[in-house]
Chain A
């Protein structure tokens, strides 16, 4: 009985060692597998495209708003004569289509005349359709250019670029703030003055007023940190200074200067 017991225990010891080795092997395999196919946990880069700020999204590119306006004005003039041409044609088309009917009903020997009239009517109709299409096309293109260029920025004439930069910064702050927002009091509010140097780097941020909600302050600071990674340089290499009012409902800019 004793010999049996000891033999059983040595078997157990061997299988303990084997089990440990297998576990180590599996662990190393997993590590190796992770190295071979790393889990991609990086946060994906966000590309900001918003209609309001599109023309001044990159203030270094000059004043695209002005250029857009001039480019837009160009198309309408040719549209006017085309419309004028198409409009008087409408009744003519009705008359042309009515004429052959009357003729064929009146005398059968006037067939050649009728055919001629019909051909003329067809040509007229196709010409009309073509011109109508051209007008529609012009209208459409006009609508399109108007939509991308001016809609959403009614006040921007291209001269107030500082204000557009501020709006851009506000938009970035808003996006970041949506991710970090948290507060523990009822109506937290915080006013922060931001200084951005000519390279687009946040140099200083000053808390001008705060409602005293610590969680909200931290959230605002984190939002500013997050947003400042993506600030573009201000236009004309000027320093930017802006005051922003942070509330749980959103961010409103107050002109600093």
Chain B
């Protein structure tokens, strides 16, 4: 306790910044844990449901049950685009083949766009974790250097170099580095963890897009 109250103004500001970093990065860690966990589990359930169902409109009516999965977003986007294409294609019956191919292209583009926006959503706030992980040790180090500088100034003023004079100032200064590391270590660990989880989810989305396009093409070609 005395270690915190005895520090100078600059070191106090550094400590406040670091504690703020720590609070926000833990908030992000918890939020992301929750988000990624739900996205994963609901994706698994959605894929089960998707392969069991026979019709897209049946899936579309049930899709709200899996709202947290990025795959449902892909499905909604793809299904909406497909509906528009089919409705538009129904009017111009003359050039069926070219419309069909164009329709598949449209659906593919819609899926790619939805995938991108989902990746953005999943990776939101993650940069803050990376920033915390890489900068907070330096901020802490800055606080320590500053604290030691003032400690040495004090030593110069009193003209005494005994350990009793030097030690408290340095101990106070080192607190800043300690808190910087405390903020940085979980942030780096969580960042790597989420990077991996999100890469898995992106792969899943890619696979789902391919499957969806295959089904669409098969059905339109078979029509």
Interface residues of A (CB under 8 A from B): 1, 4-5, 8, 11-12, 14-16, 18-20, 22-23, 31, 34, 41, 43, 179-182, 214-216, 218-219, 222
Contacts and interface: CB of A to CB of B under 8 A. Distances in A.
Contact of A15 (B34, B67, B158): B34
Contacts of B158: 218, 222
Interface of B: 1, 19, 22-24, 26-31, 34-35, 67, 73, 117, 121, 124-125, 158-162, 164, 168
Contacts of A34: 1
Contacts of B31: 11-12, 14-15
Given A15-B28, A180-B160, A20 B117 contact: no
Given A8-B35, A11-B35, A23 B159 contact: no
A195 B197 CA distance: 78
Contacts, number: 63
A14 B26 CA distance: 12
B26 A23 contact: yes
A61 B111 CA distance: 99
A66 to B, nearest CB: 39
Given A8-B121, A11-B34, A18 B27 contact: yes
B1 A23 contact: no
Contacts of A222: 158-160
Contact of A23 (B23, B29, B67, B125): B23
28 contacts: A1-B117, A8-B35, A8-B124, A11-B35, A12-B27, A12-B28, A12-B31, A12-B125, A15-B27, A15-B30, A15-B34, A16-B27, A18-B30, A19-B26, A19-B27, A19-B29, A19-B30, A20-B27, A23-B23, A34-B1, A43-B164, A179-B164, A182-B160, A215-B159, A216-B159, A218-B159, A218-B160, A222-B158
